[in-house]
């Protein structure tokens, strides 16, 4: 069984750069606190993690989060190489899965290799790589097609969750001490964020085209005429 730390990630309705900032902050906490703690716990070096991204509540106007997925995976590859083994996408609505299939061939090999879109909450597939206790609350359902959560599951998005409390406590402690912390060997805090490029433009155009195709197949040829994907 895999003993890599698991990061449960929700995709909030905020602009991309805010989410990227939060993502980088959590990466730094992972490298300085989570991974060293896991190494000590298991008595051997633990240097990677798994990330589970919850797409619950994704709306048409939020399909730019497909681009967000490519950005955060690229940020990780440029600044935290080999720190994340796999990105598991769960609770993805049909519209996301349909767009992902046509967008995937446009992505770089490193992104295609690491991203896996699971069916439903992904419970069964995730149990192949982690213990039940490590499953995020949004994956603790009785089956991939079920909407019922197991009782007693912790809400890992809650500000009261131990991970968030420990993260905020760490940030507060660092701020109070106002001590300079030298970047670790991989160059953290000197973070490169990919600029918008032709790949991103092609992704947006492909998503818009697929949305119109889906609309036509459903017999609603005019409902998405004014739809524009926000790539910000």
Phi, psi dihedral angles at 6 (to 5 degrees): -115, 130
Q: For 96-137, write each residue's pLDDT tens digit.
A: 787 788 778 877 787 788 889 999 999 999 999 998 888 888
- What's the pLDDT score for residue 230? 46
Higher pLDDT, residue 143 or 75: 75
Alpha-carbon span 132 to 10, nearest angstrom: 19
Question: Token pair of 131, please?
Answer: 């213990």
Give the full edge-to-edge strand order of the sheet including 84-90: 6-10, 49-54, 84-90, 115-117
Record the pTM: 0.70
Ranges of each domain in the chain:
6-163+170-193
Average pLDDT on 201-228 reads 54
Closest by CA position to 103, among listed 231, 209, 9, 19: 209
Closest by CA position to 111, among listed 73, 80, 63: 73
Alpha-carbon span 45 to 22, nearest angstrom: 26
Q: For 51-106, write each residue's pLDDT tens digit.
A: 998 888 655 455 666 777 878 888 888 888 888 889 999 998 887 787 788 778 87
Q: For 1-40, write each residue's pLDDT tens digit.
A: 555 666 555 555 556 677 788 888 889 999 999 999 999 9
One CATH from 3.20.20.140, 3.30.70.1230, 3.90.650.10, 3.40.525.10 for 6-163+170-193: 3.40.525.10
Beta bridge partners of 116: 88
């Amino acid at each position: 069984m895999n003993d890599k730390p698991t990061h449960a990630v929700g995709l909030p309705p905020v602009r991309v750069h805010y989410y990227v900032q939060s993502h980088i902050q959590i990466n730094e906490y992972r490298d300085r606190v989570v991974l060293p703690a896991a190494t000590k716990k298991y008595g051997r070096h633990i240097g990677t993690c798994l990330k589970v991204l919850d797409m619950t509540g994704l709306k048409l106007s939020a399909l730019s989060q497909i681009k967000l997925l490519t950005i955060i995976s690229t940020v990780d590859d440029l600044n935290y190489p080999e720190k994340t083994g796999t990105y598991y996408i769960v609770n993805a609505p049909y519209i996301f899965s349909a767009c992902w299939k046509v967008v995937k061939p446009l992505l770089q090999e490193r992104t295609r290799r690491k991203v896996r879109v699971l069916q439903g909450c992904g419970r069964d597939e995730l149990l192949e790589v982690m213990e039940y206790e490590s499953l995020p609350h949004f994956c603790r359902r009785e089956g991939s097609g079920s909407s019922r959560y197991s009782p007693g599951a912790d809400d890992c998005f809650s500000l009261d969750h131990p991970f968030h409390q420990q993260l905020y406590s760490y940030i507060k402690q660092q701020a109070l001490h106002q001590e300079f912390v030298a970047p670790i060997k991989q160059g953290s805090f000197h973070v490169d964020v990919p600029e918008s490029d032709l790949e991103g433009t092609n992704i947006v155009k492909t998503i818009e085209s697929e949305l119109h195709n889906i609309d036509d197949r459903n017999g609603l040829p005019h409902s998405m005429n004014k739809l524009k994907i926000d790539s910000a």
